[in-house]
Amino acid sequence: MTVTVVVPTFNEGPNVAELVRRLAAALPAGSDVLFVDDSLDDTPDIIRSVAARATLPVRLLHRAEATGGLSGAVVAGIESARAAGAEWVVVMDGDLQHPPELVPALVERGVTDGADVVVASRYTGAGDAGGLDGWRRKLVSKASGLLARSMFPVRLRNVTDPMTGFFALRADRVDPTTLQPRGFKILLEILARTKLVVVEEAFVFAERFAGESKASFANGVRYVQQLWNLRFGRLSPFAVIGALGALLNLAILAGLQAAGMHYLPAVIASNGLTIITNFLLQERFVFRDLRGTTSSARRFAQSFAFNGSEAVVRTLLLWWIVERAVPYPELVQAVLIFVAFLVRFVFHAQVVYRVRRTVPEATLAQGIDVQGLEAPDVDARDLGTRAAG
């Protein structure tokens, strides 16, 4: 088995020697390390001198232009590893937040389970996001992962951590030319664009060995652009229907008020009506392929219960805000409807039209207890990836 560990680096000099030392101790013979470096400092020199002393082959790909940032570097690394004949590529950060000792286990897991991708997850089993500094980063990581999973419920059905930067993949199973790397979330790009067999291994995200995180607000913006680029999957028809529903809601609200009704009963009436029209349209146009598992009465009950209570909360909020601060019911209602929209989408994708997890055929064959899990349905389509082709 030939394994290439691809390590993207941007000004990570003080971490290189320690990373290579731990990798060399952990990796089986036949493995090598490929640094894909965009550094502006002396990191390339450090990599070269560490490579000269290392007990395993260490290569350096220094890019003249940092096209695509971290994701672009990873794709360049995958391309280079494929060209050099690697069967497996393991992508990991260069700051030791990803334990090098786990690399062999990731590849072994992929081989025994016949998986294309093994995701090292902070959010499964004994995994932990401990090294992510601050509750804000943890919250953003969790929330952005949840949003991605809601947008790609089938492709990400077995992935609890689509934001991770630590994963192993079978080199011949991804076509780097289909990817549009940008920002930090290369795994999401790979998983959303290709139908792959994915399994997960838990890991504990450690503290950085040295230096500081390169994550920035701009990366957050790029993540949103990336999601948009993956064409917003299911979210876009959901959004169109939500927008139509919101317009209908506002029209009814304005009409009833013009007819002399107080704004509160008018809001209740417009909310009730649009809950029903939204459900009918979403059932038909957004989640049609995911209806199979439950009865439509049950889905309507769940949807109505959620939207109803959400509408009650929203109406109370509206009343509170209109009376206290902003005396424009239509404006406040418009803002509240928009905020409620994302929450509603996540609820519908995660609860009403939930997609069950699956396991690879090879795992089933091992006779492992997989109660409650379904065998992979080869024809599972994910409308969220129509853009992929």
Q: Which does 8 bind (CB under 5 to 8 A by kind): ligand GDD, Mn ion, none?
A: ligand GDD
**Shortest Cβ distance from residue 160 to ligand GDD (Å)?**
13
**Shortest Cβ distance from residue 70 to ligand GDD (Å)?**
4
**Shortest Cβ distance from residue 137 to ligand GDD (Å)?**
7
Q: Which is nearer to Mn ion, 96 or 168 (CB)?
A: 96
* Residue with nearest beta carbon to ligand GDD: 165
Is residue 1 within 8 Å of residue 29, measured between CB atoms? Answer: no
Q: Kindly list the distances between the CA atom of residue 340 and the CA atoms of 19, 283, 331, in Å, as whole numbers in the listed order.
A: 45, 18, 14
Q: Which of 95, 189, 200, 283 binds Mn ion (CB under 5 A)?
A: 95
Q: Which is nearer to ligand GDD, 211 or 272 (CB)?
A: 211
Element (H, E) at 32: strand 31-37
Is residue 165 within 8 Å of residue 93, measured between CB atoms? Answer: yes
Q: Which is nearer to Mn ion, 55 or 213 (CB)?
A: 213
Q: Which is nearer to ligand GDD, 37 or 201 (CB)?
A: 37
Is residue 290 within 8 Å of residue 353, measured between CB atoms? Answer: yes
Nearest one of 96, 99, 91, 49 to 210, comparing CA atoms: 96
**Shortest Cβ distance from residue 24 to ligand GDD (Å)?**
18
Name the 3-class secondary structure at 267. Answer: helix
Name the 3-class secondary structure at 202. Answer: strand
**Shortest Cβ distance from residue 232 to ligand GDD (Å)?**
20
Q: Please state, in angstroms and rounded to a whole number, the distance separating the CA atoms of residues 76 and 328.
A: 53
Burial class (CB within 10 angstroms; exposed 0-12, middle 13-18, buried 19+) of 24: middle
Q: Is 9 in the site for Mn ion (CB under 5 A)?
A: no
Is residue 265 within 8 Å of residue 367, measured between CB atoms? Answer: no
Q: Which does 73 bind (CB under 5 to 8 A by kind): ligand GDD, Mn ion, none?
A: ligand GDD
Q: Which does 179 bind (CB under 5 to 8 A by kind): Mn ion, ligand GDD, none?
A: none
Q: Please state, in angstroms and rounded to a whole number, the distance separating the CA atoms of residues 154 and 385.
A: 10
Q: Which of 97, 158, 226, 303 binds Mn ion (CB under 5 A)?
A: 97
**Shortest Cβ distance from residue 187 to ligand GDD (Å)?**
8
**Shortest Cβ distance from residue 36 to ligand GDD (Å)?**
5
**Shortest Cβ distance from residue 5 to ligand GDD (Å)?**
12
Q: Is 283 in the site for Mn ion (CB under 5 A)?
A: no
Q: Please state, in angstroms and rounded to a whole number, the distance separating the CA atoms of residues 46 and 192.
A: 36
Name the 3-class secondary structure at 262. Answer: coil
Is residue 347 within 8 Å of residue 287, measured between CB atoms? Answer: no
**Shortest Cβ distance from residue 253 to ligand GDD (Å)?**
42
Q: Which does 12 bind (CB under 5 to 8 A by kind): Mn ion, ligand GDD, none?
A: ligand GDD
Taking CB under 5 A as the binding criterion, the range among 68-76, 96-104, 199-207, 279-287 that sits at the site for Mn ion is 96-104
Q: Please state, in angstroms and rounded to a whole number, the distance separating the CA atoms of residues 119 and 169.
A: 9
Taking CB under 5 A as the binding criterion, the range among 85-93, 133-141, 275-283, 299-307 that sits at the site for Mn ion is 85-93
Positions touching ligand GDD (CB under 6 A) are 8-10, 12, 36-38, 66, 69-70, 73, 93-95, 97, 132, 141, 163-165, 184, 213-215
Q: Is 303 in the site for Mn ion (CB under 5 A)?
A: no
Phi-psi region of 125 (alpha: psi -120 to 50; beta: other; left: phi over 0): left
Residues 6+ apart with CB under 8 A from 286: 234, 237, 238, 241, 348
Rounded (10°) CA dihedral 242, 244, 247, 253 = -80
Taking CB under 5 A as the binding criterion, the range among 18-26, 88-96, 195-203, 350-358 that sits at the site for Mn ion is 88-96
List residues near Mn ion by CB under 5 A. Answer: 93, 95, 97
